[in-house]
Structure 1
Amino acid sequence: MLDKVIKSSGLFQDHCHVAQNKLDPWKIEPSKASKDCRNFIREIVDNLDLQPNPEKPVIALSIGDPTIYGNLSPSPETVKAVISIIEEGLCNGYAPSTGYDYARAAVADYLSYDGASFKSQDVILCSGCSSSLELCITALADGQRGHNILIPRPGFPIYRTLAETIGVDVKFYNLIPENNWKIDLEHLESQIDGNTAAIVMNNPSNPCGSNYDEEHLRNFLEIAYRKRIPVIADEIYERLVFPGQKFVSTASLQSQVPILICGGLAKRFLIPGWRLGWIAIHDSTGAFENVRKALISLSQRTIGSNTLIQGAIPSILQNTPQSFHENLSNVLALHAQIAFDYFTVIPGLTPFMPEGAMYMVVEVDLKHFPEFESVLQFAKRMMEEESVFCLPGECFQITGFMRIVLTVPQEVLEDACERIAEFCNHHYME
């Protein structure tokens, strides 16, 4: 009886119509921001369709994770600091979106040296340095207002990813290879226009391994001050420089330029997966009054960074011995020298000796490798024949170069260099 009532009332037909609709395929369009988000390294590498030589184990000199081979590990003090926080059980809940005040104070104290001075309220803790960069770019640049930011070439491609995802244009300023990859200051200034919202500066540099001295930084900051353009200083490799080098933070120069300094634990403390980064606000003139508020608002999107690492960060920063940092620098400098010595005598290659960070850039003279139209092709074939992969310069907006990572074990690095030499000797032509 109930079935008859349903059918006679038309409810049965409506139900069937709804059921039929459920079977119809759906096509949901993603947001513009998601479609505009591009990983430029993955786009290039994935299109190479890399196939290693099955007779040789793969050596990846392309991955910027210093822990990947297990030869570089965090200090025992760093590990114990986190274990203690876990055992205490006091950092399992939510923290303020900008971070625990005592953790922010520890970072402020860590960054206050060589004349730079920070307080806890100048620090915002983030989920890794990439999150720090995202907040800074978003706080300063607005795609709807036609803003652009200036980024280095060559440079880490995430700057472009973060900007273009929110509709902000990027313009490139050149680094000069024959001048230790210093900034081409004339070119930088020529790129600034009325819509430039910020200059991103990376020191020490990925991919170049350059370390800017005080004079060069002052000349850079003088342009920013004169043009009234704030700076986003990516200093994730701060103090990770080779013996005989000195790292100079932009905050130590008292330039009166408002600077957002991005950093974190990832590289110098060898814990990239722990995802603890920071923004340090350097602003002697009060220009960032509203930007401070914007950064706090933006930090609320993720409700703060990893609380366990926040709880451990005072101990990590205070108790990690200087000998740990010195040993890391010595290892990287040794590996850089080994690679440099190899590549110097390989025909068709010109290495550029780094001064810090974890990378070396090598120029590939394609005139002597005429079967390859680009370093992309060069890198692909080298993977196919020798199972060694280096990131081509196209990943960093330059052609004719490749980047190698120096964090692999020494014996692996030497094996890779020998294979690269064999490849180049086989394909080189006068």
Structure 2
Amino acid sequence: MDSYLIQVNGHGDHAPILDVHLKTNGNSMSLGKVKGRKPRWAVRASEMSKKTFNPVRAIVDSMKVEPNPKKAMISLSLGDPTVFGNLPTNDEVTQAVKEVLDSGRYNGYAPSVGYQSCREAVAAYYNCPEAPLEAQDVILTSGCSQAIELALAVLANPGQNILVPRPGFSLYKTLALSMGIEVKLYNLLPEKAWEIDLKHLESLVDEKTACLIVNNPSNPCGSVFSKSHLQKILAVASRQCVPILADEIYGDMIRDGLLRLSQRILGPCTIVQGALERILHRTPPEFYHNTLSILKSNADLCYAALSAIPGLQPVRPAGAMYLMVEIEMEHFPEFENDVEFTERLISEQSVFCLPATCFEYPNFFRVVITVPEEMILEACSRIQEFCEMHYQGAEGAQDLECDK
């Protein structure tokens, strides 16, 4: 006879005793008295949470190093242009948010896709004859990270795969893996200013490929693709019938899905939405021009300084806020990898650069170029001192290998 266990939550210290009877084909069978077990708490982490892994946090949080107490810390790792005060928010933006906050008109819930007036403002701002845009084409999100999450969720199902650049922004992989989506990494080529290895890219496409992510300008590379290279990327995507996820640009084929997914949350910040039209239309063009000029000057300065350091090969950026630097590891044989290199750089020189292992690209490190000019010069000077102390020519490196 099969055994059965029926448990019911009771009161007090024990569940009640049950007398269980089953009827089969009119015949009654008694299974006797079964004493139920005491209920226990069993709150477990979800499968999504178990699959969520951020390589940047995992690597940085495990770097148990202390900076040199004799030198002030210089962080070239955080991609936040507001930290050092040399790239402040424009006054028009700040004033717009203050006025909206004082008005009290944007304190409640908004439509999950954003206020209609705000969507109209965004559509009007970005509309052009070659790519007409209407309010219904716009979905506002809580930052770019949520836009990426929505895009991945609407394009791919668990078991499918997406194509992600290497090196590339770590959040793509973090979000995809948590959703049960496989990540395939296609290579970028540093010797070609981080253009896509198109043959490698196309070789990764299969029947389960849901989308191709194109990050341009790139984080962490600071690269900007030429028009001709973009056309070649489009040709691959067209030939393989794979949609491209570039920022938040998709096609009408998944619009309804995005509308439904946006309803999972309460929507983007209402205060910023209220100020959005003024931010778009009244922020002076000089603000953007001046910011870009500072970033370009910093990039040129940083590239020139790092190019003069033995054992380092920076790749000149063309956009964004980042610059990638190759470590010629054969000249630094005492370090196993870029993580060890950057850890020692922190402990000896108090300069924090992000190891590119965070971006699936070992033996490089990323530099953020939003810091003030004098800080860039000081940081590069310290990096040079560090490299000169640990650098070994080909002969010296070979001798050290023989000693191991």
Q: TM-score scaled by structure 1?
A: 0.81
Change (3 A) 1:188 1:14: closer
Matched, 1:38 2:35: no
Name 2:183's counterpart in structure 1. Answer: 170
Matched, 1:73 2:96: no
Q: How does 1:51-90 map to 2 (within 5 A)?
A: 51-90=66-105
Name 1:121's counterpart in structure 2. Answer: 136
Matched, 1:362 2:359: no
Q: Where do 5+ consecutive residues of structure 2 fail to align? A: 1-9, 16-37, 394-404
Name 2:198's counterpart in structure 1. Answer: 185
Q: Deviations over 1:37-76 (max 9, x none)?
A: 1111011112221221112111111001111112211111
Q: Deviations over 1:274-330 (max 9, x none)?
A: xxxxxxx4x3xx5x1xx2111111111112100010111111011111110010100
Matched, 1:321 2:318: no
Matched, 1:386 2:335: no
Q: Deviations over 1:7-64 (max 9, x none)?
A: xxxxxx963559xxxx999553200001111111011112221221112111111001
Matched, 1:106 2:69: no
Change (3 A) 1:318 1:417: same
2:221 partner letter: C
Q: Deviations over 1:329-376 (max 9, x none)?
A: 000011111111111110000111101100000010011001001011
Name 2:219's counterpart in structure 1. Answer: 206
Name 2:335's counterpart in structure 1. Answer: 372
Q: How does 1:3-402 map to 2 (within 5 A)?
A: 15=12, 26=41, 28-113=43-128, 115-143=130-158, 146-234=159-247, 260-261=248-249, 281=250, 283=251, 286=252, 288=253, 291-402=254-365
Q: Deviations over 1:76-101 (max 9, x none)?
A: 11111111211222111111100011
Q: Where do 5+ consecutive residues of structure 1 fail to align? A: 1-12, 235-259, 262-280
Provide the alpha-carbon RMSD of the alignment.
Answer: 1.7
Q: Give the Å deviation of 1:112.
A: 2.1
1:122 partner letter: D
Name 1:421's counterpart in structure 2. Answer: 384
Paired residue secondary structure (2:12): helix
Name 1:276's counterpart in structure 2. Answer: none
Of 294-303 and 103-112, more deviation after overlay is shown by 103-112
Paired residue secondary structure (1:125): coil
Q: Give the Å deviation of 1:115.
A: 2.5
Change (3 A) 1:391 1:114: farther
- Please give the alpha-carbon distance, in whole angstroms, between the structure 1 residues aligned to 2:43 and 2:73: 40
Name 2:21's counterpart in structure 1. Answer: none
Paired residue secondary structure (1:124): coil
1:201 partner letter: V
Aligned length: 362
- Please give the alpha-carbon distance, in whole angstroms, between the structure 2 residues aligned to 1:419 and 1:84: 45
- Please give the alpha-carbon distance, in whole angstroms, between the structure 2 residues aligned to 1:103 and 1:324: 22
- Please give the alpha-carbon distance, in whole angstroms, between the structure 2 residues aligned to 1:296 and 1:182: 33
